[in-house]
Every structure is written in C-alpha cells, then in structure tokens.
Chains A and B, each alone.
Chain A
Amino acid sequence: MSDLRAHLDRLESAGDLATVEERVHWADTAAAVAGEAARTNGPAVRLADTGGRATLVGGAFGGPDRLSVRSREPWSRTGSALGLGHDAAYLDTLDALVAARRGGADPDPVDRPAATADADLRTLGLPAVGDADVPTLTLGVAAVPAAAVGDGTDGDAAASGSLPTAVPEDSRTDPDAVSWIPVRGSVHGSDGLRLSVPAPAGSTPDGTRVTVVLGTPPAALFGATTRWLGESQVAGAPRIADALGSVDVAPTPAGAVPAASEVLIEATVSRAPASTATPDRRPSGLPSPWESAVATATLRARVDGVRVRDDPIVPFSPTGAPMADGRHLLSITESARLYGRVNNYWGVAPAEWLALPVEAGLGICLVASDVLYAGFEWQLANTLFSFSRLFDKVVVLDTETPPMDLGRAFDDIWVKAHPANDWEFSDPEAPAARAPHYRRDGATGSNMYVDAAWDPRWDEEYIAPRVTFEATYPEEIREAVRADWAALGFDHGPENDPTHDRDADGGA
C-alpha cells in the first residue's frame, strides 16, 4: 500500500519537497505560499505550522512547467505518487493510467481506518483557498452509497427517495456498494459542508451518509478523478485505485473509504438551507479544474464527526495559481483518457503522445501522431473535440516531436504550419469549450486545429530535416564530442540536454 505519507517521503528523498517551519496561517497565508511555490516552479511545500492541527502540503500533485529543461518534470510527482518513480517517463505514466481504467482486484478490507482520533473540523486548519474566507476542501474524495448515486436522469433510484441512507453493515467494504467521487468544498459554521460533486451525486437524498476523505492514498484520488471523466467503459473508482496501487479500504456508513486516509469527515446529506436567503449557494472559493470537465451539482451536508490520523497531513491545491495541483491532476488523467481512446479507435494506435499541458490551462490539446492518410489530421482533431469538451484548440504534431517537448511543439506550431492553409477552423456551431474563459454563456463558436505535421502528400524531398545534434553531425563526431565533453572543459551533462528524453531511455 502506498499512502500519502509514503508519497511525501519519496518526494522528500527526491529533493522535491521543502518544509516551511515558520507560521503561515491557514486563513490567509498558506494558500498564497503554496501558490507562489507553484507559480515559480518550486518543489512541493509542507507547511508545518498553520495555526491548525493539520500539517498542510501544497504541490504534492503539482510540478513545474515544461517550458524549460528542468531537473524535475511536470508529471514527476504524479509518477512518484503512482509508484512509477519520480523519474517516470511521461508515456509510462499515461500508460499506467490507461491500464488502470479497466480496474484491478477488489481492494483489501481492513477493520478500521487509520484515522481514529476525534477532531474538530474548525480547528484542523484546512486552508482558505481561492478567495474563500472559510476553510476549504480541495483534492478531496467522497464516499457515497453507490445506490444513492444515479445517472442524473429523472426518476433514477436515488432521486426516488426510496433507498437506504447508508450502506448495510455487511457491505461496507464492498467496492460495488460505494461510489468514490471527486469533491471540492467549504466549511460553514461548526458543521456545515458545501460540496461540489459530479452531477449524478447531486441528487443524493437527504439523510444519506457521506464520508469525505482528505489526504487519501494518491491512487484513490486518481481513481476517483479518472472514474468521472466522461467514460462509461471504466471500472469503479476503488478498483481503478487498486490497479494504480494497492489501496486498503475501511468501513464507514457511507461505504468503503481508503483506509490510510489522513482525515475522515463523516456527514449526512442535508438540503435544508442554513439560510433561506441563500438556498442554493455554491461552495466558497474557486472551482477545481475537474469541475470544468464534468457537470457538477452542489451537495450540502452536516458533519457528524471528524477523525484524523496522528499528526494529520492534508494536501491541498492552491486553486487559481498556475501549475496548481488540481490542474496537474486533471491534465494527466484527461490526457491519459484521450490517449487511450484515440489509440483504441481505428484498429491502430496512431498517437505517439498526447497532452493537455497544464501550462496552457488545459485549453489546448497537443497530439503527436502518425498521419495515416491525407485528411487524417482533420479526423484526429475532430475526434478529440468529440471526446472532450475541455478545449477547442488541437495541435497535430509529427511523431518526431519527443513526448512533452513543449519547446519543439510550440515551435512547430508556427514554423511547420502554413499560416493560410494549416490553421483550420470549424463552422461556428461547435459547443463552447469549458476550459477557456470566453463564451462562458455557452454560446456556440468554432473549434480550430493547427496541422503542424508534414503533409503526407508531399514528396520526401520536400521534407526539411530538423537541425538537431543527432541529425546534423556524423556519428563519429557525435560520439567523440560526447565522450570528450568533460575533458573539453564543459560542466553540464546529458541531463541538461533537451533531447535527453526519458521516454526514449525508459525513464533512466
């Protein structure tokens, strides 16, 4: 089992976790410090003294941008979290997430969760994030009785109000009896929770028990996110999580929860508004990125009890900051989803790599692909538009662009694509994309793709070779220069070379 603590230990060993010992209060400074670390491509930061009971960690699932060559990659912490290693290759990380969609074995049950100490939600020190003036929950997972989570349509079982409000005691570690959903929320008063949840969970009847867990094993967080990203042919979140890393589960009235979670908030759904003047108020703070990928609803609940592990640790995302955890989480899971789909659609796997770069706010999809035939670029781009509503811009690259080489990708977009012929726009009736900031009223508009791949109809002689060290110099010169590099008096080894891609050497 790999819990959050093991993940943080690995980050620390890799030099990718720093500790801030001085007081940074959860109410006004903690999110700013984590946001600044994210913005400046810093390591994850452990905030040891926030005025609350919990230690906060920002950036546990974040990472630096890939707009320069760095010693760590944007996905390094994800790779580490999933047990693939801090130096995991990008494609290995995608492949692991794709494979996990089929699900693994049933999670092993344990008698009780690791969090056993009673706690008070208000004194935990959950950070106020994204302009909120109350404690907020990010990177949360909620367990809800599976029977209570419908498909969002009228007349489903949950909406009928005829269901038990808790999972029967003999099924409380059964992965089929529970739904794990991504959750973002805020704390109001002594026991009020406002939760943003995927829409089908929004119809959970009053009185239904729900357990919100914070500081879950990373596999559970990725599993819950993956489960809700618009696919029907995927396993339940507990089994996806178990495929990503063995996750023990413990019983709660709402069903099984990841046993190693740091904080368990047991609550009961209660739609009775705290104030009749604001009956539909959403959670405070900015939405998490996953909320732009799925339809959401607000769930209100009253806290029944809080249990924590000793010296609890709560990871959070400084939502709104560039390179924040939430963006990374959605970027890698959605990239994996689309990568898996386009490579299981035409009988062949044309996409060498695919990414919704965090750096672009998930508003652009890059795909490096074999261009199977003339017009395939159009087909590929429009397939991606039909698979995801996040973005309205696709860049089609040649497979010679190394995975996640954003430097090359954002060079080719300008120099390989003909400004008149290779920037293609659809008719203006496409639905509005959800990541961008325009047309938030849902007005239709155009999608566009940039064809930055060679035209398959071109003669071979038209194809300009790239200027790279490998392509430009004879092998004997390359070998001699590399072999003599230090003797020639240079300092920087191959780890500084942008062409030293980990995917090519298996993550070495």
Chain B
Amino acid sequence: MTRKRRAGGPATDGGAPDGPADSLRDYLGMLETAGELNRIDTGVSWNLEASAITMLANDRDDRVPVFESVTDAQVPARLVGDPYRGSRGRPWDRPARALGLPPDLSGEEYYRTVMERLRNPVAPVEVDATDAPCKAVIRRDSDVDLFSFPWPYIHAADGGRYSNLHTMVAPDPDSSWTDWSAHRAMIQDGARASVLLLAGEQTPNLFYYRYERREEPMPVALAVGVEPAAQFTASMWIPTGSDEAAFAGGLKGDPVELVECTTNDLQVPASAELVIEGRILPGERLDEGPFGDYFGYMHGPRRSMPVLRVDAVTHREEPLIPFCVEGSGVGYSLNTTSTTEVACIGPDATLGLRAAGYDVEKCVPWRFTPRSVYVVSTDVPRPGYLHELANFIFTTWGMLHVDFFVFVDADVDPLSTREVVEALALHADPDSDFHQFGAETMPKVPLNIYQTPEEKGDVETGTSKSKTAKAYIDATSGGESGVSEPAGGDGALRERARSVLDRAGVDLDPGVTSGE
C-alpha cells in the first residue's frame, strides 16, 4: 500500500463555495452552510444502523446525515446517507444547490436551466494522478480488502452489503466511447463483488453482447462519491457514443477533471472519494440480492449476476462513502434515487424527446414511484401522435423499467401530482384512452413484484423470462373542458389574489407553483 498526502485534497470538508460543487465534500459543505446537513459524531454501525437512521431522515424530510464515526471499519471512512435527497415539496432543491443554482428555483425554471446546460457539453480535462484527490491512498493486490471499508448493510433482508451510489465506468471495446452508469454491487469477499447488470441497458449490453461473447473481461471502475454533476450524469440516458464526462461538464458549467486509473486506462472523475478498479469476468456468476428495491419492496430471490474482480482501490483520506436506502423513495418520501429521477432524468428525458422531434413540454417521473411511470405534458398535433411517442419511448430508453406513460395537456404541470392525478381521473376515458402495448410480448427487468419468481426466471442476461406489457394513458383533454381552474381566475386575477394572501401573511404551499 502506498499512502500519499495531496495538495488540494483536504481531508476536512470545505465551506460553501459559489458556483457548482467540485466534489461531494464541497456539496456537503454547501448543505452544512444551509443548515441541511447533520454530522453525527456518535459511533454508528454500518450494519443496519446507518441505513435505519437515513431511512427515518428520509421519511421525516430531515437533514442529510453524515456518519463521521463508523464503528467496525478497518479503514477510517465515513458514510453519507442519501446525500442528494431533495426536500419533499421541491425535490430539485438540493441538486440545484449542487449545480450552483439557486435552490429556490421553480420546477419550471430548474428544468429549463438544466436542459440548457445539457445542450452545451463542456469537454473534461485530464489531470495527473498526483493531482487527483481520489489517489491519496492506493491499494493494490494483497492490500485490497473490500471488507475493510464500511459498506453499509442497508436492509435487514438484503443478500449482503452494497455499494449502490457510485458511477460505473466501462468502455466499448470497439470504439473510444466509455459509458457511465449506475449498477449496484454486492460485496462478496475481499476482492469480489456481484454486479447487477440487466440486459438492455448500455453497460450490461457491452458486457453480455461484446466482452462475454468474446470471452474477454470488461475493465471497469466504480467511482464512489464523485462530484455531483458526474453522479447525476451516470443516472441519465446519454446517447451511445457521446462523451458522458462532457455532459457532466455541461451540467456543471465547468469541466470535470478526469484521472486515469492505476491498473487500467479508464478515466474516472478525479474528485471521487474512492475508486474500485477491476474487471467483470466472462462466464462467471455469483449471487446478487435480495435487495430492497427502488419501487419500495424487497426484491428477490437471489439471482446470478456477473462478477467484478477487484485489482485496486484508490481513495481519499477518510473517504466518504455515500449510499442510498433504496426503496425508501416511494410514496411521500424521497431518497437519492427518486430525487435524481425528478431532478436529472426528467430534464434529460425531456431533452431527449425533443431531440427526437417530439415537441413535448416536459417529461417527469411520477412523484411517488421512481422509474416505473413517467408523465409527459404535450400538445397533440396530429392523430396517432401519442401512439408514436409511446412507441418511440418504449422501444428506446424506456424499454426495461418503465411500464407506463401518462400523457397530459401541455398546460398541465407534470411536477404537480395533483394536476396529473386530476387529469388522469377526469380526462382518461377507460373506453378509449388506455392503450396497452404488446401484452405479454415486451421485455421487462426482473425487478418487479407483479411477476412470480417463476415468471421472472433466472436467465443469464438478466431480463425476465416472462414478458410483460407496456401501457400509455391519454389523459389529455382532447377538447373536453379543462381540469380545475381557480374560481373566477385568469392569470392576472390569480396573481392579485396571491398578493392579497401574501400581504395577509397566509401560509401557502411553496411546492405549488404560481403558474400551475
């Protein structure tokens, strides 16, 4: 093991800089300045305790916990529970802060700003290893012991301890493209982890259909605790061949610094707290799961998933290991997954649909359910338009996880659950507005609870054995009278009314937009 002290890589957290956060530490400093961080010095165990505290903080919309003293960790390291969870009323507020934006932006303004940034990628810069904070400590070969780090045991019925908030970096063997993605890893022993790779997604497709077919290992890096813009980008569906780091730079408004791995030629965000370098081995499988999953239920049984063999671990001093209490971001509660759905995937998907020629207003995940259903506000310029739009989505990025799309009028705000629920109830006619795509013909990830274990099967590529259906719901008004309109209210009168209430000191819901 080599141990180096770095210039520019402080072990202590910084304050709240102007502009976007350059690291997870910067971001946490911003939260601390804003009074939204809770540093817990009491010793807390990685074994369910840290996640239990985090889940209750998520449920109660409380401050983000940083566990400064993790018991039973051989390497001094800290845990951060759901660092990107937004506030209940305004899920995008903490991501906005991380990107250097005002946290009080309206949802409309936030989406517009993020889309504008994504339209303007900023190329990354490469830094030397000596300048990379993530290489303060380098462990190789026999020095590598994954269990020396306090990976959290998150749910009592999980199959093991997980790293589930990292950026997986994997290269296309046939081009210079490198994919950034998010695939959880269950720690198996000191040098191995099983990685959830579901066929149909970009990195899994690279592994299953290129590397494994050629019987070659896929070099990967799991960059843990990267700067917020890089973390957000990993959750987005960036087109194949595009430079993900440049999108992260665009999102940030500044170049992302990359550094080459120690044991392979992949480049990772230099800001990472910890980097696991290794290879995913062809033909090898280990159990993965059960795991409390994003849709709010324990998902099982164990499945066989590809194996990551670790070659090196590099990290900062006292690295911060962020984690997500998956499954706690459903219903009224938010976690990192459900927040990044709204704050990152929504704007990215909106931009993607527009790029494909669909002039949608917004595409926003359903507030209470990450990934399974999206709401698209759009005009309907011609007959067949919604079918065409749904078909496009279901056959591209929405194929595996998303089961439903709800289309609403362009003037219905998909960020307002009330408006969407009302449109669904009052405009979607069971007789003509519920459209099923491909009953029992469409692929589906096995991460669902409506299929039996037998239906999910255990096929190698990680898709369900039993196919399923997709559906879209036309909740546009189609010429029917609109959903609720405030009494007597045109826009100007409503503004006047709001001013009256403001002057009277009436406490109104800040999560309800004035432009609703």
> Chain A: residues with CB nearer than 8 A to chain B?
18-22, 24, 28-29, 31-43, 45, 64-65, 67-69, 128-131, 286, 318-324, 357, 359-364, 391-393, 405, 407-408, 410-411, 414-423, 425-426, 428, 435-440, 445-448, 458, 461-462, 464-467, 469, 472-474, 477-478, 480-482, 484-485, 487-494, 496-499
| B418/A65 in contact, CB under 8 A | yes
Q: Count residues of B near A (Cβ-Cβ below 8 Å).
A: 103
| B501/A410 in contact, CB under 8 A | no
| A478/B451 in contact, CB under 8 A | no
| B468/A419 in contact, CB under 8 A | yes
Interface bits B294-307 vs A (CB < 8 Å: 1, else 0) = 01111110000000
CB-CB under 8 A from A128, the residues of chain B are: 488
Q: Decide if B487 is an interface residue (CB 8 Å cutoff).
A: yes
CB-CB under 8 A from B285, the residues of chain A are: none
| A467/B487 in contact, CB under 8 A | no
Interface bits B433-464 vs A (CB < 8 Å: 1, else 0) = 11010011000000011111100000000000
**Would you list 17 pairs from A and B whose C-beta atoms are within 8 A, ordered by A residue?**
A20-B500, A32-B486, A32-B496, A33-B497, A36-B508, A318-B486, A363-B426, A416-B449, A418-B451, A418-B469, A420-B469, A437-B482, A439-B431, A447-B430, A467-B296, A490-B57, A494-B60
In the complex, the chain A residue whose C-beta lies closest to that of B367 is A67
Q: Decide if B399 is an interface residue (CB 8 Å cutoff).
A: no
Chain A nearest CB from B413 CB (Å) reads: 12
CB-CB under 8 A from A393, the residues of chain B are: 425, 430
Listed residue (B433, B501, B509) with the most chain A CB atoms within 10 angstroms of its CB? B501
CB contact under 8 A between A43 and B156, given known A361-B425, A407-B330, A490-B38: no
| B369/A411 in contact, CB under 8 A | yes
Of B61, B292, B295, B488, the residue contacting A35 (CB under 8 A) is B488
| A477/B448 in contact, CB under 8 A | no
In the complex, the chain A residue whose C-beta lies closest to that of B52 is A473
A469 CA to B326 CA in the complex, in Å?
12
| A321/B508 in contact, CB under 8 A | no
In the complex, the chain B residue whose C-beta lies closest to that of A318 is B487
| A477/B49 in contact, CB under 8 A | yes
| A68/B511 in contact, CB under 8 A | yes
| A321/B484 in contact, CB under 8 A | yes
| A419/B60 in contact, CB under 8 A | no
| A45/B449 in contact, CB under 8 A | no
A474 CA to B45 CA in the complex, in Å?
14
Q: Which of B463-516 contact A (CB under 8 A)?
A: 468-471, 477-478, 480-489, 493-494, 496-498, 500-501, 503-509, 511-512, 516
| Extra contacts besides A36-B494, A68-B332 (10): CB < 8 Å | A18-B501, A29-B497, A39-B512, A392-B430, A420-B468, A435-B426, A436-B427, A436-B429, A469-B56, A481-B49
A92 CA to B477 CA in the complex, in Å?
37
| B418/A474 in contact, CB under 8 A | no
Listed residue (A67, A440, A445) with the most chain B CB atoms within 10 angstroms of its CB? A67
Listed residue (A39, A68, A439) with the most chain B CB atoms within 10 angstroms of its CB? A39
| B508/A437 in contact, CB under 8 A | no
| B508/A464 in contact, CB under 8 A | no
CB-CB under 8 A from B509, the residues of chain A are: 40-42, 64
A36 CA to B487 CA in the complex, in Å?
8
| A467/B434 in contact, CB under 8 A | no
Q: Is the interface of B mostly helix, strand, loop or mixed?
A: loop
| A131/B327 in contact, CB under 8 A | no
Q: Decide if B10 is an interface residue (CB 8 Å cutoff).
A: no
| A438/B88 in contact, CB under 8 A | no
Q: Decide if B53 is an interface residue (CB 8 Å cutoff).
A: yes
In the complex, the chain B residue whose C-beta lies closest to that of A69 is B332
Q: Decide if B126 is an interface residue (CB 8 Å cutoff).
A: no
CB contact under 8 A between A36 and B432, given known A407-B330, A436-B426, A473-B48: no
| B430/A446 in contact, CB under 8 A | yes
| B52/A415 in contact, CB under 8 A | no
CB-CB under 8 A from A20, the residues of chain B are: 500-501, 504, 506
In the complex, the chain A residue whose C-beta lies closest to that of B431 is A445
| A34/B487 in contact, CB under 8 A | yes
CB-CB under 8 A from A36, the residues of chain B are: 486, 489, 494, 497-498, 501, 508
A482 CA to B497 CA in the complex, in Å?
42
Interface bits B328-353 vs A (CB < 8 Å: 1, else 0) = 10111100000000000000000000
Q: Decide if B113 is an interface residue (CB 8 Å cutoff).
A: no
Of B327, B417, B478, B508, the residue contacting A37 (CB under 8 A) is B508
In the complex, the chain A residue whose C-beta lies closest to that of B505 is A18
| B500/A33 in contact, CB under 8 A | yes
| B501/A466 in contact, CB under 8 A | no
A481 CA to B366 CA in the complex, in Å?
30
A454 CA to B478 CA in the complex, in Å?
35
Q: Decide if B372 is an interface residue (CB 8 Å cutoff).
A: yes
| B403/A419 in contact, CB under 8 A | yes
CB-CB under 8 A from A478, the residues of chain B are: 52
| B497/A360 in contact, CB under 8 A | no
| B430/A467 in contact, CB under 8 A | no
Chain A nearest CB from B226 CB (Å) reads: 26
In the complex, the chain B residue whose C-beta lies closest to that of A440 is B480
CB-CB under 8 A from B493, the residues of chain A are: 28-29, 32
| A359/B327 in contact, CB under 8 A | no
Q: Decide if B72 is an interface residue (CB 8 Å cutoff).
A: no
A408 CA to B327 CA in the complex, in Å?
12
| B508/A41 in contact, CB under 8 A | yes
CB contact under 8 A between A22 and B503, given known A415-B295, A472-B155, A477-B48: yes
Which 10 pairs from chain A and chain B are nearest by CB? A467-B327, A363-B425, A407-B331, A445-B431, A420-B469, A35-B486, A318-B487, A448-B430, A360-B425, A407-B332
CB-CB under 8 A from B419, the residues of chain A are: 322
A392 CA to B431 CA in the complex, in Å?
10
In the complex, the chain B residue whose C-beta lies closest to that of A48 is B504
Q: Decide if B62 is an interface residue (CB 8 Å cutoff).
A: yes
Q: Decide if B312 is an interface residue (CB 8 Å cutoff).
A: no
CB-CB under 8 A from A129, the residues of chain B are: 487-488
| A474/B60 in contact, CB under 8 A | no
CB-CB under 8 A from B485, the residues of chain A are: 320-321
A325 CA to B196 CA in the complex, in Å?
50
Of A22, A286, A474, the residue contacting B504 (CB under 8 A) is A22
CB-CB under 8 A from A64, the residues of chain B are: 509
Chain B nearest CB from A496 CB (Å) reads: 4
Listed residue (B56, B295, B300, B403) with the most chain A CB atoms within 10 angstroms of its CB? B56
Q: Which of B263-297 contact A (CB under 8 A)?
A: 292-293, 295-297
CB-CB under 8 A from A417, the residues of chain B are: 450
Q: Decide if B116 is an interface residue (CB 8 Å cutoff).
A: no
Q: Decide if B147 is an interface residue (CB 8 Å cutoff).
A: no
Interface bits B47-85 vs A (CB < 8 Å: 1, else 0) = 011011101110111110100000000000000000000
Q: Decide if B40 is an interface residue (CB 8 Å cutoff).
A: yes
Chain B nearest CB from A463 CB (Å) reads: 8
CB contact under 8 A between A33 and B501, given known A436-B429, A473-B156: yes
A43 CA to B507 CA in the complex, in Å?
7
CB contact under 8 A between A130 and B487, given known A438-B429, A481-B56: yes
In the complex, the chain A residue whose C-beta lies closest to that of B58 is A469
